[in-house]
Structure 1
């Protein structure tokens, strides 16, 4: 595996973790937003990732032990809404309550989102460290020729 591939892989990892951090921030920002209608309630969102494979026509000899091409990074497949049940609370004096006195809140678990945020932040930091290490290796190789 060349060092150029390392930059591409860690860059795709940083991009994926940025998407994860943004969706987590959106979930946390809307965690306590109330609505009178179940159709208008914010629903938690989560990114879906997949390992990006090299183009099948440009496979080089960097393969895994099982003969399959090595991964070429992380691909963000999309962002999906959570199918967890919404929170329905009886709050008849709330300005957003429906005719029965119920208010609907998002299906966002704040504790889970905070742990998601910490995990995404640390994953982003690890990818930055990988990129910095590769950069230092390239710089050392360039100084060998002097």
Structure 2
């Protein structure tokens, strides 16, 4: 694989991890979104990645976004303004610990791909310096 191929593969990884970070941050931001019992809950977003098959390395791409369960979870909060006659409201079914784990994995993946881009750039610059002398 060439230096440019490595940059291309790592760049595609950066894009996927950035989308994953965006999805996790949306999920965390909407964990406490309350809806009335007759409405759908906020649906968590999950990034689906797929391989880009090519002869010289390929990469990865976002194949789509899957949505979580619209059913959510019913919580008894009779004093809430959106509560139904039984006192229930609907919250999204998002687990904080799972989302934080995903956040850490996405951060580390993003950092690893950014480091590859930096190292490939440094290698290319060193090759240019050798060519100048």
Which position in structure 2 is the counterpart of 1:104?
90
Secondary structure at 1:77's aligned position in 2?
strand
CA RMSD of aligned residues (A): 1.5
Aligned counterparts of 1:40 and 1:79: Cα–Cα separation in 2: 18
Aligned equivalent of 1:47: 47
Question: When the two structures are superposed, what TM-score results if normalisation uses the length of structure 1?
Answer: 0.84
How many correspondences in the alignment? 132
Distance across 2 between alignment mates of 1:92 and 1:24: 30
Q: Do 2:41 and 2:71's aligned partners in 1 also have CA atoms closer than 8 Å?
A: no
Runs of 4+ in 1 over 6 A off after TM superposition: none
| Aligned match of 2:27 | 27
Q: How far is 1:102 from its partner?
A: 0.8
Q: Which residue is equivalent to 1:66?
A: none
What is the distance in 1 between the residues matched to 2:46 and 2:122?
35
What are structure 1's unaligned runs of at least 5 residues? 63-70
1:133 pairs with one of 108, 119, 129: 119
Distance in structure 1 (CA, Å) of the matches to 2:117 and 2:74: 46
Counterpart in 2 of 1:113? Answer: 99
SS at match of 1:53: coil
In the TM superposition, what whole-angstrom CA distance separates every residue of 1:71-108 from its partner, at most 9, and x where no partner exists? 41111011111238621111111111112211110011
2:77 maps to: 91
Find the aligned partners of 2:12 and 2:23 in 1 and give their Cα distance.
17
